């Protein structure tokens, strides 16, 4: 392992990664507006949604399952059905590809984390931190989910048709978390961006210390956390909510007019101190 | 300073509104409506094809992408490099924020998926498996 690290370290030095190689160079050379294609990451697998394969996880460990999914994508399968996942942890993680992944059963902790692009359907339940750090795509869970659902979510749609535990969407930085049932305490804690929709009730300290983003609650709110304040539900909000909830077949019969919108009071804003440190790239 | 409702506010003016911006002499790029919802009637042909390719029913993560203005120039934030990517100067900007956001989404996808994106080099250097 140490040898691999040393080789990587050498490679990164040879490639100039440690010498600010971007300084003094314009990014315009990297970028051509008329460039054709470009719908997938350069090193992703070419898969066809109509090519389907099955994987039985009964006698496999999480590493083998994830390697198996990768191997099937390598063979061009765009639809993969995972059978008997057995609530194993860390299944379906790190998929940076377009893919339809159908999981027949339940997942343990950290299922479908760090994904960027796939559409995943899970027929059972999921444990803690499902889809944490998800970048893009969709994950739809038919039953209930554990705590820290969608922790640090960055993009995409994370949907649970049942109820979820506490600290849902903790530190989320984008994307949408949609819950058909109820959510527990401290949901939206330190939320920075994105949207959370809960059709049922919300537990204590909703949106505690949220910096930005929007929370929509269809039921009762036990109480609001620090710096979480009610906002005005606009027609645009209603249109968006209706479209999204219809898309995942959980639009309440009475519509969305009764939803409460919660936003940040912005008393905790501290972006100003962070911004000057951001690296700027000029085209 | 330019009008608050002017779509070119941060291009015409210096964008230095808050005390902090004046102190550091730099416009803070996040100071626009990050929660602005997209108008789906303004999808570009490229974006329509992209959504079909990915098998998505809507813009998905791209709903959070907007055209920002950095140092008086239009730009889009690329989370994969944690930096602003300037819009090429020869590109004519639409006269409304919705169309500009669609343009930003298209440019960002083209940039991220390009084999010349900086992440490709980083991937080669650091990937573990």
* Distance set, CA A7 to CA A11, A15, A280, B78, B119 (Å): 6, 12, 30, 29, 19
Interface test with A, best of B36, B63, B106, B123 (most A CBs within 10 A): B63
Q: Which of A52-66, B23-37, B86-100 has the lowest mean pLDDT?
A: B23-37
Mean pLDDT of A220-234: 96
- The pTM of this model reads 0.87
Task: Tell me the per-residue pLDDT of A31-71, one tens digit each, with 9 for 90 and over.
Answer: 566 665 579 998 899 999 999 999 999 999 999 999 999 99
Q: Predicted confidence band at B59 (pLDDT cuts at 50, 70, 90)?
A: very high
What percent of chain A has a predicted confidence (pLDDT) above 90? 76
Q: How far is CA A100 from the centre of its chain?
A: 16
CA distance to A12, A153, A180, per residue, from A196 (Å)? 39, 11, 11
- Chain B residues with CB under 8 Å of A52 CB are none
User: By the 8 A CB rule, do A227 and A268 touch?
Assistant: yes
Instruction: Render pLDDT for A144-174 as a digit per residue (tens, 0 to 9).
Output: 999 999 999 999 999 999 999 999 999 999 9
For the segment B22-49, the average pLDDT, to the nearest whole number, is 78
Q: Do A38 and B37 touch (CB under 8 A)?
A: no
Asked whether A216 and A200 are in contact (CB, 8 A), the reply is no
pLDDT at A195 over 60: yes
What pLDDT sits at residue B28? Answer: 66
pLDDT tops 80 at residue A20: no
Q: pLDDT tens digits for A241-277?
A: 999 999 999 999 999 999 999 999 988 765 555 444 4
Residues of B in contact with A29 (CB under 8 A): 116
Which stretches of chain A are DSSP H helices? 2-14, 62-74, 235-247, 271-274
Q: Say whether A283 and B86 touch across the interface (CB within 8 A).
A: yes
Confidence of residue B68 (pLDDT cuts 50, 70, 90): confident
Among A139, A173, A140, smallest CA distance to A155 is for A173
CB pair distance less than 8 Å for B70 and A280: yes
Q: Give A116→chain B minimum CA distance, Å.
A: 10
Q: How far apart are CA B88 and CA B82, in angstroms?
A: 19
Closest residue in B to A283 (Cα) is B86
Nearest-neighbour CA in chain B from A39: distance (Å): 6
Please answer yes or no on whether B124 and A35 come within 8 Å at the CB atom: no
pLDDT for residue A88 is more than 80: yes
Contact between B53 and A194 using a beta-carbon 8 Å cutoff: no
User: Which has the higher per-residue pLDDT, A51 or B116?
Assistant: A51
Neighbours of A43 (CB within 10 A): 13
ipTM, two decimals: 0.86
CB distance A243–B30 less than 8 Å?
no
Shortest CA gap B49–chain A (Å): 9
Q: Which residue has the higher pLDDT, A19 or A33?
A: A33
Q: Taking CB atoms and an 8 Å cutoff, what residues of chain B touch A30?
A: 111, 114, 116-118
Mean pLDDT (chain A, rounded): 88
Q: Among A192, A190, A193, which residue's Cα sits nearest to residue A207?
A: A190
In the prediction, which pLDDT does A267 show?
82
Residues in chain B closer than 8 A to A279 (CB atoms): 81-83
Is B20 within 8 Å of A272 when comparing Cβ atoms?
A: yes
pLDDT band at A18 (very low <50, low <70, confident <90, very high): low
* Cα(A111)–Cα(A90) distance, integer angstroms: 5
Q: What's the pLDDT score for residue A6?
A: 67
Asked if residue A21 has pLDDT above 50, the reply is no
Please judge whether B83 and A119 are an interchain contact, meaning their C-beta atoms are less than 8 angstroms apart: no
**Which pairs with CB-CB distance under 8 Å and at least 24 residues apart come from B70-73?**
B70/A280, B70/B27, B70/B29, B71/A280, B71/B26, B71/B27, B72/B10, B72/B11, B72/B14, B72/B15, B72/B27, B73/A282, B73/B11
> 3-state DSSP call for residue B85?
strand
Q: Which residue of A has its CA nearest to B88?
A: A283
The answer on pLDDT for A12 being more than 60 is no
- Best probe of the B interface among A38, A102, A249, by most B CBs < 10 A, is A38
DSSP A96: -
Please tell me which residue, B129 or B67, carries the higher pLDDT value.
B67
- Count of CB contacts below 8 A, A vs B? 144
Long-range contacts of the stretch B39-47 (C-beta < 8 A, 24+): B39/B98, B42/B98, B42/B99, B42/B102, B43/B102, B44/B102, B44/B103, B44/B105, B44/B106, B46/B106, B46/B109, B46/B110, B47/B102, B47/B105, B47/B106, B47/B109
Confidence of residue A26 (pLDDT cuts 50, 70, 90): very low
Q: List the single residue in A with minimal CA-CA distance to B17.
A: A272
Chain B nearest CA to A86, separation (Å): 25
A100-130 pLDDT, tens digit per residue, is 999 999 999 999 999 999 999 999 999 999 9
Whether residue A150 contacts residue A168, with contact meaning beta carbons closer than 8 Å, is answered with yes
Q: Regarding predicted confidence, which is higher, A275 or A221? A: A221
User: A136 to chain B: which residues are within 8 Å by CB?
Assistant: 60-61
For position A283, what pLDDT does the model report?
37
Nearest CA of chain A to the CA of B3: how many Å?
22
Q: How far is A283 from chain B (nearest CA, A)?
A: 5
- pLDDT recorded at residue B125: 83
CA-CA distance, A248 to B129, in Å (whole number)?
A: 35
pLDDT tops 60 at residue A15 = no
Average pLDDT over residues B86-102: 90
Do the chains contact at A38 and B110, CB–CB below 8 Å?
yes
Lowest mean pLDDT, pick from A18-22, A32-36, A131-135, B54-58: A18-22
Q: Identify the three-state secondary structure at position B118.
A: helix
């Amino acid at each position: 392992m140490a040898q691999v690290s040393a080789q990587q370290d050498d490679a990164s030095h040879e490639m100039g990664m440690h010498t600010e190689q971007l300084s003094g160079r314009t990014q315009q050379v990297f970028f051509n507006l008329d460039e054709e294609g470009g719908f997938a990451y350069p090193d992703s697998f070419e898969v066809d949604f109509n090519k389907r394969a099955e994987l039985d996880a009964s006698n496999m460990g999480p590493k083998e399952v994830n390697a198996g999914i990768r191997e099937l994508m390598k063979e061009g399968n765009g639809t993969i059905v995972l059978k008997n996942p057995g609530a194993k942890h860390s299944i379906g993680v790190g998929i940076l590809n377009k893919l339809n992944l159908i999981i027949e059963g339940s997942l343990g902790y950290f299922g479908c984390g760090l994904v960027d692009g796939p559409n995943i359907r899970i027929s059972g339940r999921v444990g803690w931190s499902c889809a944490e750090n998800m970048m893009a795509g969709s994950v739809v869970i038919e039953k209930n989910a554990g705590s820290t659902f969608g922790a640090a979510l960055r993009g995409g749609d994370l949907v649970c048709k049942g109820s979820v535990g506490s600290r849902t969407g903790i530190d989320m930085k984008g994307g949408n978390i949609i819950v058909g049932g109820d959510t527990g305490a401290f949901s939206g804690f330190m939320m920075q961006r994105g949207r959370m929709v809960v059709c049922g009730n919300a537990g204590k300290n909703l949106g505690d210390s949220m910096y930005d983003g929007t929370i929509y609650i269809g039921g009762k709110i036990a109480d609001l956390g620090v710096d979480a304040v009610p906002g005005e539900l606009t027609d645009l909000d209603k249109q968006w909510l209706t479209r999204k909830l219809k898309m995942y077949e959980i639009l309440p019969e009475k519509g969305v007019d009764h939803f409460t919108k919660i936003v940040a009071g912005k008393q905790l804003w501290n972006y100003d101190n962070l911004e000057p440190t951001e690296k700027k790239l000029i085209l | 300073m330019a009008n608050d409702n002017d779509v070119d506010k941060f291009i015409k003016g210096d964008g230095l509104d808050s005390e902090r911006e004046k102190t550091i002499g730099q416009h803070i790029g996040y100071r626009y409506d990050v929660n602005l919802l997209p108008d789906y009637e303004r999808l570009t042909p490229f974006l329509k094809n992209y959504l079909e390719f990915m098998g998505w029913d809507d813009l998905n993560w791209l709903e959070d992408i907007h055209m920002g203005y950095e140092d008086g120039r239009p730009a889009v934030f690329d989370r994969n490099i944690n930096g602003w990517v300037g819009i090429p100067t020869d590109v004519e900007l639409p006269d409304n924020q919705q169309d500009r956001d669609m343009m930003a989404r298209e440019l960002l996808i083209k940039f991220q998926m390009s084999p010349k994106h900086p992440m490709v080099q980083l991937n080669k250097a650091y990937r573990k498996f």
